[in-house]
Amino acid sequence: MSDYRKHLEYMSLALEQARKCKATPTAFCVGAIIVENSTNTVIATGYSRELPGNTHAEQNCLTKLLSSETPAAGADTTYSLYTTMEPCSERLSGNISCTDSTINYNNSDERKERRLGRVETVYVGMKEPGDFITNNVGQDKLLANGVGYIHISGLEEEILAVARKGNV
């Protein structure tokens, strides 16, 4: 299987998560998964507003990963985060952004103590449209903090339709 096809399959799994979101007029419906790179195993999933507190998909993946029984990994273990939409760099609610959540996870003592892998690359189904935040700098911030950023094309129309369900 080609790398592109593999990434497209993982993005499709993230899109399945996005479809679980309860629609709201003031936020996107986003889905995300985390894959352990050496085994190609999905180790966490999440979608917007899945957990209490106006939560985002990437944040939910990372929260669930840290609270799971995921076995310790080696120091060199890496994860890939697949998200249907570019991780936010700002939250209108004042909550921590998904970009900062990813960077904070990688730098956290808890991750290191539990010997969990670090997020090496974020795969994005589409850039965030300017519906709510007009200047998302998530890509620049991730790259500046050593996290790769790769756009996986091919599902943008479907991702946008799901993301905007319930938007006015």
pLDDT digit string, tens, across residues 56-66: 999 999 999 99
Task: Note whether 142 and 108 are within 8 A (CB).
Answer: no
Q: What are the residues facing 96 on neighbouring strands?
A: none
Strands 41-47, 118-124: pairing kind: unpaired
Instruction: Give the model confidence (pLDDT) of 1-54 as tens digits.
Output: 689 999 999 999 999 999 999 988 888 999 999 999 999 999 999 999 999 988
Instruction: Give 36's strand partners.
Output: 41, 79
Q: Which of 58, 86, 90, 110 is catalytic?
A: 58
Residue 58 annotated to the active site: yes
Q: In sequence order, what are the residues at sequence separation of 6 or more whose Cβ sits closer than 8 angstroms to the Cβ of residue 111?
A: 66, 105, 118
Residues 6 or more apart in contact with residue 71 via CB below 8 angstroms: none
Residue 74 falls in which region: left (phi positive, over 0), alpha (psi -120 to 50) or beta? beta
Give the pLDDT band (50/70/90) at residue 168.
low
Tens-digit pLDDT profile for residues 63-87: 999 998 877 777 689 999 999 999 9
Residue 150 reports pLDDT greater than 80: yes
Tokens matching residue 47: 């979608």
